[in-house]
Every structure is written in C-alpha cells, then in structure tokens.
Structure 1
Amino acid sequence: MKVKPLAVLKMSCIFVILKPLLLLVALQILFDDTTQAAPTTNADTKPLSNWLNRSGTETTTTTATDEHSSSKAKSNLKWTSRSAWQAAPAIHIPTRITGAVGGVSHVIIHHTATPAAACRQSTNACAATIRAVQHNHQQQRGWDDIGYNFLIGGSEERAEIYEGRGFGVVGAHAVGYNARSVGIAVIGDWTADLPPGPVLEKMQDLIAYGVQKGHIQRNYVLLGHRQVKATDCPGSRLYNELKEWPHYEQHAV
C-alpha cells in the first residue's frame, strides 16, 4: 500500500474540517436570497406636489370654475358659492344675458350700507349678512334673487368673494344697466371709511377674471351706482377711490 504524501494528508484534513462550515454558509446565503422581500411599488402613489398647492397646504378648497366657458377653464381666483353661504333659491329661473358680444360693457360698484363688522369677524358671520340682504331683496323688494352678481367682504387681513347671481345672469342692481353690466357690492357702509385693502384687491381680481374669461369687455366702463341713480351708493369714500381706477368714466354712458 502506498502512503500518501504529508501535504496531501494535510489538505484532506483541512477540507474535512471546512466542508461543514462551507455548507452552512451556502445554506445561509440561499435562505437569505429566498426570504428577502422585494422592494414594493405602488402605481397609485403620486408625488407630494400633486396633493399640495403652491402654498404648501392641502388642496381642499375648490377654485372658481367658469361654468359658462366652453373650455371649462379654471382660474386661481376663488369665491364662496351660493350653496356655501346657504343662499335661498331664486324665485324664478334666472334670466341669462344675451347679445353681449365679448361680455358686458359695464361694471357697477355698490355698497350694501350694512355694518361691515360681521365680515371682519368671520366668513360665517359674513354669510349671515348676505342671507339677510337676499331676504330683503326677495321678501321686501319682491325681486327674484339677491340683486348683485357678486359681493365682497373682509378685513385688513383677508377678504372673500361671494357669488350672488354670478356671471352671465341679469342682475337687479341698476335700472337700465342690469342686462349689460356686472354688479359688485362691497359689504358695509363706505361713506366715511375706505374698505380694507384686501377687499379692494379682491374687487380688482374679480374684474380682471371677468375680462379674462370673456364675461366683461376689455374696454369696459367702471361706474359707481350713484352715477346711474339718485343715491349715495357706493358711499363717498369708496366712490372717490373708484375715480382713480382704470376704466372709470365720469359720465355714465
């Protein structure tokens, strides 16, 4: 019988010792590969920017939608809808404005001559004031609905636009001009005081929106209510402010 060289014997011994260890390592690797969870993906997951608006707050408010535009375009301008301020239904079907190519020709500014404190307090209190104005117009004056197309109220910190009859609907705010104008009422009595800055800014935004969407002509005429009727409306302080605005006309046309 031949005797194996010493080196061969040493290698055989090392293999016998290491074989169980190598087998355990191989089994452990195989076990890890078969039990490790695959990375999960969710096809419905959307980037955070899709759920947040530009100011970084959750988008829960709806933007004002141009219901009368064929493109259904949306604007960043927001307003409180009739349903949100709990308007009563119109007594009769609203009369649509017809024949106003490119939009109505006039914007007429009013004030409600009611206390402005409610709108400085909260949107809920302001909505209650608007409901009272609507009740007066419908029940006391016998009109189909609140007379204005839009109302605006607020404080030095914020302001809100409230939908009255809306764009494209004949109002009841200026005899002889209802079918060719948008009537905007600033909530409060602005005889001695000027409305807060945010309220004036919202008024300008609303007019610009109307022009952009084709509800108001680009060369519209801006008037105070007193220019088309013997009244103090929209209050001397507010009326003097309007004189400095673009499109104001001293003589009503």
Structure 2
Amino acid sequence: MIGSPGRSTPRGEPLVPANIPFTRRGLLGSTAAAMGGLLLGPLPARSAASALAVPRRYTRAEWAARPPTKAANVLNRAPDHIVVHHTASANATDLSLEHAFALSRAIQNFHMATNGWEDTGQQLTISRGGHLMEGRNRSLAAIDAGDLVVGAQTLGHNDHTIGIENEGTYMTAQPTGALWDALVATCAWLCGVHGLDPHEAIVGHRDYNTTACPGDVLYARLPRLRDEVAGDLGLRRRAPEGPPPKPSGLPGPRFTFDHGPAV
C-alpha cells in the first residue's frame, strides 16, 4: 500500500516472537457463551476484557521516526473497518526487530519524500518477523482512547478506516507464520477496543480501491483471518466464505516499494 502520489496506497514461518506478550485466548468467552456462541452484533466497545488483548506495540520513538510535517488529525470516533494491506516490497528473510525498525523508517521516508505526505500513511505496520509498529503519529494514543487517526492508506475512506501494512508482496507468496499470528492478534485487539464484528469489519484494500493490494494470496486468506479473530474473541467461527460485500461510504537495508497496480 505504499503506492504513488495522489492515489490510495498499500503495503504490502517462525512463531510469534517471545517478546510479543499477546496471549491467544477467548476474551469475551462468557458473553459469547451467554449468546450461544453467536455474534449477534457489534462487540461492546472498550470492554474490560479487551484491555487484556493488547499486543506488544513498538512506538514511533522506538523505531526513531522523523517528526511529521503536521500533526495527524484525530476524530472522536472509532473506525468501522480494518483495512489489510501489503507493502508490495521484497519478502525479506531478515525477521529481526532491527529490520522491522528500518522498514518503518523506509516507509515513512517514501511517504514523505516521494509521495509528499505529512507522515507515514498507515496507522500500523507488521514486519515479516511479526513485530507490530505504530505508523502515523498519534495512532496508538488514538486507538487506546477509542478514537481514529485519519491516515492516508485507503483513498476516499481514510475518515472511517484503520490500515495495517503487512511487510511483503503476497500475490503468490504466503505470509510468514510470525506475521500472520501478529496480524490475527492485532485485529483481535482492534476489534475488542472498537467493538467491531471481525466478520464484517476486516476487509482488504482492494475492497475499496482499484488495486491488487493486499495481494491475491493474502486477500484469499481474509475469511480465515476473520474466523481466527472471532475465535480469539470467544465468538463462534463461521463456515468458510468469500469477502463481505464491498463497503460503501536512511543508512541500512534498501527497500523498494511498488508504484504500480500491486499497490
């Protein structure tokens, strides 16, 4: 989802690293049991249980982000959809935290220097090593408050969606196990905080814009993602299904991002 200026953009089998203290559990098990395990509507926003689901997040200060040219706009409302992207960059074999930090700096540099944006476009980034990092400034504080930072990740829909950039290109390749587990954990956390139904809220970039993002392979795995997130939240999993209806309304490693239809 790192795309070209003036367009919406993307980003687009080790285990979860031990330093990510997220425990996969049924967070709302008692509520789901009371309803017979069925998800009958949105989850209650900001439930006490959701606070237990916070994965290890690396802040902008930790990955040494540049100052934005302008502070991000924060809306006093929750997002209604979680948009899955791929970075359309190389499928790196370096799964280290250092590489993940370099990735975040490279994305920010690309977005600011090439795209001319005020900061990184997406709110969250997950490396192939499973490291979850804050993207756009003020994003983590906004999520923790139940609010939304307006990003630059889904053209025409940045005022109601939150974007997750997943490192790599997933047209034919599979994501690493570490990235996948971190993506499930991140989506479960976001659904718990914002009271979202994972079966309705989790979409791909291509559901909104004309783009190949998040790649054919990762896009095809979105039904499984919704199902695993629902399971982590203690909700009944649905049978395999297609995507939901299209929503309406620095020195160091070199990173190359795609400007074309892959984003």
TM-score for the superposition, normalised by structure 1: 0.64
1:148-190 alpha-carbon deviations (Å, 9 max, x no partner): 11011134xxx11111122321110001211111100101111
Q: CA RMSD in A?
A: 2.8
The whole-number CA distance in structure 2 between the counterparts of 1:81 and 1:92 is: 18
Instruction: Give yes or no for contact 1:97–1:180 (8 Å, CA) kept in 2.
Output: no
The whole-number CA distance in structure 2 between the counterparts of 1:88 and 1:110 is: 22
1:108 to partner: Cα distance = 0.6
Change (3 A) 1:78 1:233: same
AA aligned opposite 1:176:
G
Structure 1: tracts of 5 or more residues without a match: 1-56, 64-68
Higher Rg: 1
- Counting only pairs closer than 5 Å after superposition, residues 44-123 of structure 1 correspond to structure 2 as 75-98=53-76, 100=77, 103-117=78-92, 120-123=94-97
1:49-101 alpha-carbon deviations (Å, 9 max, x no partner): xxxxxxxx9xx9999xxxxx8x9x57551111111111111210110023x3x
- Counting only pairs closer than 5 Å after superposition, residues 1-253 of structure 1 correspond to structure 2 as 75-98=53-76, 100=77, 103-117=78-92, 120-155=94-129, 159-165=130-136, 166=139, 167=143, 168-214=148-194, 217-218=196-197, 220-246=200-226, 248-253=243-248
Partner SS, residue 185 of structure 1: strand
The whole-number CA distance in structure 1 between the counterparts of 2:65 and 2:52 is: 23
The whole-number CA distance in structure 2 between the counterparts of 1:204 and 1:224 is: 14
The whole-number CA distance in structure 2 between the counterparts of 1:130 and 1:95 is: 20
**More relative contact order, 1 or 2 (CA 8 Å, 6+ apart):** 2
Partner SS, residue 226 of structure 2: coil
1:202 to partner: Cα distance = 1.0
The whole-number CA distance in structure 2 between the counterparts of 1:146 and 1:180 is: 17
Q: Which residue of structure 2 lines up, in the alignment, with residue 32 of structure 1?
A: none
The whole-number CA distance in structure 1 between the counterparts of 2:105 and 2:127 is: 13
Percent identity over the alignment is: 26
Structure 2: tracts of 5 or more residues without a match: 1-17, 23-45, 228-242, 249-263
Runs of 4+ in 1 over 4 A off after TM superposition: 60-63, 73-76
1:243 to partner: Cα distance = 3.5
The whole-number CA distance in structure 1 between the counterparts of 2:54 and 2:83 is: 23
Q: Which residue of structure 1 lines up, in the alignment, with residue 8 of structure 2?
A: none
Q: More helix per residue: 1 or 2?
A: 1
Partner SS, residue 165 of structure 2: strand
